[in-house]
Chain A
Amino acid sequence: NAGVMQNPRHLVRRRGQEARLRCSPMKGHSHVYWYRQLPEEGLKFMVYLQKENIIDESGMPKERFSAEFPKEGPSILRIQQVVRGDSAAYFCASSPASGVYNEQFFGPGTRLTVL
């Protein structure tokens, strides 16, 4: 059973470009979470999605960031007009169900560098 897959693993963008990060959850998991890790910091929650629905986006910046989890295909985290402060590691996690008891399984992350 493959784990959570993220691609690309490394992404370099120039200021003003768009970044698209993809996440395929573990087989059988329908809940996806995105987290951001800045250097020397812990992970910060961004958004929680189920298929075709955004459940909680309380951690998402109000502008330039969006996320989707379509009926078919991976979840996408999209960052428009990137700035240097967006440089970070972005992790996706998945779980089989909602609920406070369930641990989340993390992907290897996408390291975004904005030049």
Chain B
Amino acid sequence: AQSVAQPEDQVNVAEGNPLTVKCTYSVSGNPYLFWYVQYPNRGLQFLLKYITGDNLVKGSYGFEAEFNKSQTSFHLKKPSALVSDSALYFCAVRDQTGANNLFFGTGTRLTVIP
């Protein structure tokens, strides 16, 4: 069965500092990993995905994520945080069974402090 863990409910970072939002996963076979961002009272916006290939994936708004198979992790990163990055971030996974639905983590609330 698939599962996703986001160990931190809340991450605070100063504007201009690098940020990391953590995600670990458990699937059968190869994982397909996604990051989404949710702003208040809005739907989820797709940021990036890992399917295969280069372990470092670049996405929207300057975000990137690193796939680490040995640690079963897919942490979201950004070199320099902006106040406008403050939002709720969700990691999601699919596996190779062909299930079309995404399994989501519980979310991490990122606050960037001016």
Contacts and interface: CB of A to CB of B under 8 A. Distances in A.
Contacts of B104: 35, 42-44
A92 to B, nearest CB: 8
B67 interface: no
A98 B104 CA distance: 18
A111 B99 CA distance: 26
A103 B107 CA distance: 18
Contacts, number: 65
Contact of A43 (B51, B90, B96): B90
Nearest to A33: B101
Contact of A103 (B43, B46, B96, B105): B46
B71 interface: no
B98 interface: yes
In this complex, the interface size class of chain A, counting residues with CB under 8 Å from chain B, is: 20 to 34
Given A42-B104, A42-B105, A44-B104, A100 B43 contact: no
A98 B107 CA distance: 25
B2 to A, nearest CB: 10
Interface string B49-76: 1010000000000000000000000000
Given A31-B100, A41-B106, A59-B101, A100 B94 contact: yes
B25 interface: no
In this complex, the interface size class of chain B, counting residues with CB under 8 Å from chain A, is: 20 to 34
B5 to A, nearest CB: 11
A11 to B, nearest CB: 14
A67 to B, nearest CB: 13
B32 A105 contact: no
Interface in A95-115: 95, 98-101, 103-109, 111
A101 B32 contact: yes
A4 B42 CA distance: 12
Interface string B79-114: 000000000001000111011111111110000000
Given A42-B106, A44-B104, 9 more contacts: A33-B100, A40-B106, A41-B106, A98-B100, A101-B32, A103-B34, A104-B46, A104-B102, A106-B44
Q: Top 8 closest A-B pairs, CB basis?
A: A45-B101, A42-B104, A106-B43, A106-B44, A108-B43, A42-B106, A43-B104, A100-B32
